[in-house]
A and B are shown apart, each in its own frame.
Chain A
């Protein structure tokens, strides 16, 4: 980690506070009105929000444009997600410099899902860099003022770079080897893919061993049964517990909208209270709450951790 602290997220991590981050998803639209509304609701509940970059390879509003606009209009600090799937190293560098120019203070460097899994499957996948080399590039830009080719950068951007980890990966040792590689490349914090099982998390922390890099564990309280079901069926490396899935499915039967909402909240609070209680005993530095479009659940879940 650099000694300099540029963002509120990094400040809290350095100070050793228990950190909460949220997630906002720009849509396939010509505006970011909805994530802006969500960001307003999350102010004060999370220190920063990730802004997704073409998640699951669905092409949405640019995460850089969205991060800038959300940060400017709401004051919510953004974690600009940047994936290698759609850009070569030149475009990645341009966007990193662009992020600095627009006052973005955190980047999450990702490889990204393959384009064939999304809504534009005939696109040419790029992957000129991968998450590790993108982390390396960003550190080189910020710390040395140089790009990968060794060209000088005037007034280099001041921002932090994070990376992802997948505790539920089918081959944990290879995954952890890759995470160590990111640590060697200078990643400043890690956010994990969604985890539902405490034993999956424990195995991951055990395999990784001690590290100075703070790790935020990803959870996904689903707003609807469909969201939870999508994760279970389509997101590699994530298994959703059958009991939770069944309880979520049962909420679909409730006709009254308000009562259904209450029941969804109850199911989530019940399930995640146990998970978050367990999290307290792990080396996690905080929790990344990927409650996309579901800001009302953050406050009651935060309470569990107090």
Chain B
């Protein structure tokens, strides 16, 4: 998912200088997971803006699974609030940059309403792990190198993105030259290759990464787009996991560990 955090209020209010009427819109995807665009966040933002003297014409809350970045889903909510969008000075979108831009494109090019669309959040990249601590491990470069690097991506996990590391700056405790809180990715790769018995590969040069797969903006065409029915069907598959419901509502493992300690 795309990690994100809300921008400082001063920056948000800066965009709205000289503007009075706003629509506040959330997102039922990553922004709901990160609490930057769920129902509560939308309500809180609307409240703050009201306190600052702005008039909130509409709040658009998107339920989980309804992402601002997917036109078919997003458009249902935008069409429903057409009147408010027509009358507002700006739409504040509480999602990643994809969501903001889908809203911009749809309102402008399909609905025919050109309004300022402002980001409320700063996206911080694709992150995994959790439940509390997440980290960026993949940058969607278009040419996965994990098969050559013991399953750890140095392009993302190494501060310099070196295909052949470590650099000469490894700190005490095998930490990164740039940030002592981060592990050196190449020492991690070394240790994993040691466990796997593949250290010979460590001493062989990996070719420079093929950045040609990252010509921006990248476009993609889905042969068979996922409709609502497919989505529901895919969710039903969860039943195949034994005891799924109890897993869903159980405490995350990390919290359980902490609870035990206490």
Interface residues of A (CB under 8 A from B): 85, 89, 111, 113-114, 116-117, 125, 127-133, 136, 148, 164-166, 169-171, 173-175, 177-178, 180-181, 184-185, 193, 236-237
Contacts and interface: CB of A to CB of B under 8 A. Distances in A.
A180 B163 CA distance: 15
Contacts of B162: 111, 127, 130
Contacts of A181: 164, 202-205
B190 A177 contact: yes
B74 to A, nearest CB: 32
Contact of A169 (B166, B178, B204, B209): B166
B89 interface: no
B168 A170 contact: no
30 contacts: A89-B208, A111-B167, A113-B177, A114-B160, A125-B160, A127-B161, A127-B162, A129-B208, A131-B164, A133-B206, A133-B207, A169-B170, A170-B172, A170-B174, A170-B175, A171-B184, A173-B190, A174-B166, A174-B190, A175-B166, A177-B190, A178-B164, A178-B186, A181-B164, A181-B203, A181-B205, A193-B168, A236-B170, A236-B177, A237-B168
Nearest to B193: A177
What's the dominant secondary structure at chain A's contact region? Answer: mixed
B197 to A, nearest CB: 14
B63 interface: no
Interface in B183-198: 184, 186-187, 190
B163 A133 contact: yes
Nearest to A117: B178
Contacts of B190: 171, 173-174, 177
A132 B190 CA distance: 16
Interface core residue of A164, A165, A175 (most chain B CB under 10 Å): A175
Contact of A130 (B159, B163, B174): B163
A171 B174 contact: yes
B29 interface: no
Contacts, number: 105
A110 to B, nearest CB: 9
A174 B186 contact: yes
Interface core residue of A164, A175, A177, A180 (most chain B CB under 10 Å): A177
Interface in B31-75: none
A170 B163 contact: no
Nearest to A180: B203
3 tightest A-B contacts by CB? A166-B168, A236-B169, A132-B164
What's the dominant secondary structure at chain B's contact region? Answer: loop
B211 interface: yes
B215 to A, nearest CB: 14
Nearest to A167: B168
B153 to A, nearest CB: 14
A236 B176 CA distance: 9
A117 B179 CA distance: 10
Given A180-B203, A185-B205, A171 B177 contact: no
Contacts of A164: 168
A129 B163 CA distance: 8
Nearest to B175: A170
B26 to A, nearest CB: 32
B70 to A, nearest CB: 31
A298 to B, nearest CB: 24
B171 interface: yes
Nearest to A129: B208
Contacts of A175: 166, 168, 170
B134 interface: no
B178 to A, nearest CB: 5
A184 B205 contact: yes
A49 to B, nearest CB: 20
A177 B205 contact: no
Interface core residue of A116, A173, A185, A236 (most chain B CB under 10 Å): A236
A62 B206 CA distance: 29
B173 interface: yes
Nearest to B203: A180
B134 to A, nearest CB: 22
B13 to A, nearest CB: 25
A130 B165 contact: yes
A123 to B, nearest CB: 13
Contacts of B1: none
B190 to A, nearest CB: 4
B177 A130 contact: no
